[in-house]
Amino acid sequence: MTSFGIYIHVPFCRDRKCPYCDFYSVASPGPGLVERYLDVLEAELARSVERYPENLGVGSIYFGGGTPSLLEPEQVWRVYCRIKSLWQILPGAEVTLECNPEDLLLRRAAGYFSAGVNRLSLGCQSFDERQLELLGRSHSAADCRAAVGNACEAGFGRLSLDLIFGGPQSTEGALLEAVGTALDLGVSHLSLYGYHLERTAPAYGRAELAPAGEELYRSQYLAACRKLEDSGWRHYEISNWAASPDEYCRHNLAYWLRRPCLGCGPAAHSFLPPDLRFWNPEDLEEYLKGGGGDKLSDGRSERLDSEQVLCEEIMLGLRLESGVEPAAIGAFLGGELETTLQALREEGLGAVSGAGRFVLSERGWLIYDEVLGRLTRKERPSG
Ligand code: SF4
């Protein structure tokens, strides 16, 4: 049975937005608003059977946000049951819930486990109190440690932790200490995100919240790469590491490999291979008014042409340790393929692997946008 992933965007955060964040979410929702959201979400899931028919099985479910751990376990169970009533959830399906550490008391962790969740992604961001304060997080380093302990005690074997590097006043030492703490705590997956401020982030333009600077950004990333490599971890995607391939995030991997994914909730994006992308409005009220109706009829969809499909394959493939077929890049570079790949190899930015695929090095990942530009900027040769 062919599988697909379901992404549920939970568009709520506790009482205020973190100053660096530009993900779509609404702070301080009342219980009535959450219930209205869940009603519409259920309607949207039911409606989606038209495009994701019953003969597709659900291989992964990912509750992202926002702050999905604002949902009660019973509410998560409600969504899980609705999905189960519409499609077969395949044996071994990965069900991830993003959690803020301060939410994950033991009873709550046990509730999520009983509600079908089998993987937690904890938004720790740092183990340095000063950093946590600067980032406007509402949890402490002790909360992060307690959350991991509670998750383990509740039965979760698959735990991921998010850390931020390159943030305001961050240091390489503090990052390495945080990575070491995560390893000591026994998590099996780590996501390291480079701090940057979009123009739409509340902190944009605030000097005390400016990024650490390019030099520190690079040195922190590379130092973390070394530490995790020395610990035997797999750097399988530009921002993601796992203790073993079994611990890779299967939901995100499916996204990077351009497999079918249904996104529900405001601002969620969906993909139907080979070329159809469609999405929901980035506005809770508009989403609720739509009642889970047909997104495609509202003009929020795009059919990619063959060049866009190829460009996406390269863009997403280069994020992964498996890389891309050189022939795909050749469609953009034509006769300059060999010289370009050779130049990148000599600069230490990437190389052709034993499997014959072009893979970026960690230094290449650091300047991913620049390398991507060099590999795709040429027009595809006609004919
Ligand atoms: S970082 Fe997470 S908790 Fe903070 S505002 Fe953004 S979505 Fe909410």
- H-helix or E-strand spanning residue 247: none
Query: What's the gap in Å between 283 CA and the centre of ligand 1?
Result: 16
Please state, in angstroms and rounded to a whole number, the distance separating the CA atoms of residues 196 and 171.
Answer: 15
Please state, in angstroms and rounded to a whole number, the distance separating the CA atoms of residues 207 and 75.
Answer: 40
> How does pLDDT run across 209-268, given as a tens digit for each residue?
999 999 999 999 999 999 999 999 999 999 999 999 999 999 999 999 999 999 999 999
The reply to whether 233 and 353 lie within a common domain is no
Ligand 1 closest atom vs CA 136: 4
If one residue of 10, 12, 13 were mutated to test the ligand 1 pocket, choosing by the most ligand atoms within 8 A of its CB, it would be 13
CA 60 and chain centroid, separation: 13
Q: Where are the alpha helices (DSSP H) in the chain?
A: 31-47, 73-86, 106-114, 129-134, 141-154, 172-185, 214-230, 250-256, 284-290, 306-317, 326-333, 337-346, 362-366, 368-376
Ligand 1 closest atom vs CA 66: 7
- Residue 294, domain member (yes or no): no
Tokens standing for residue 266: 């405001």
- Residue 295, domain member (yes or no): no
Task: Specify the residue for token string 């390291």.
Answer: 192
The reply to whether 141 and 223 lie within a common domain is yes
Name the domain count of the chain. 2
- Residue 298, domain member (yes or no): no
Sheet of strand 88-99, all strands in order from the earlier edge strand to the far edge: 234-237, 240-242, 189-194, 158-165, 119-125, 88-99, 57-65, 3-10, 261-264, 269-272, 276-279, 301-303
Identify the CATH number of the domain in which residue 334 sits. 1.10.10
* Backbone angles phi and psi of 215, in degrees to 5: -60, -50
- Residue 193, domain member (yes or no): yes
- Residue 14, domain member (yes or no): yes
- Residue 288, domain member (yes or no): no
The reply to whether 152 and 56 lie within a common domain is yes
pTM: 0.95
Residues of the chain with pLDDT under 50: 379-383
| Boundary of a domain, candidates 195, 230, 255 | 255
- Residue 188, domain member (yes or no): yes
The reply to whether 323 and 195 lie within a common domain is no
Domain range enclosing 219: 3-255
Q: What angle do CA 19, 177, 13 make, to 5 degrees?
A: 25
The reply to whether 71 and 153 lie within a common domain is yes
Give percent of the chain with pLDDT exceeding 70: 97
Identify the CATH number of the domain in which residue 242 sits. 3.20.20.70
> How does pLDDT run across 359-374, given as a tens digit for each residue?
999 999 999 999 999 9
The reply to whether 246 and 326 lie within a common domain is no
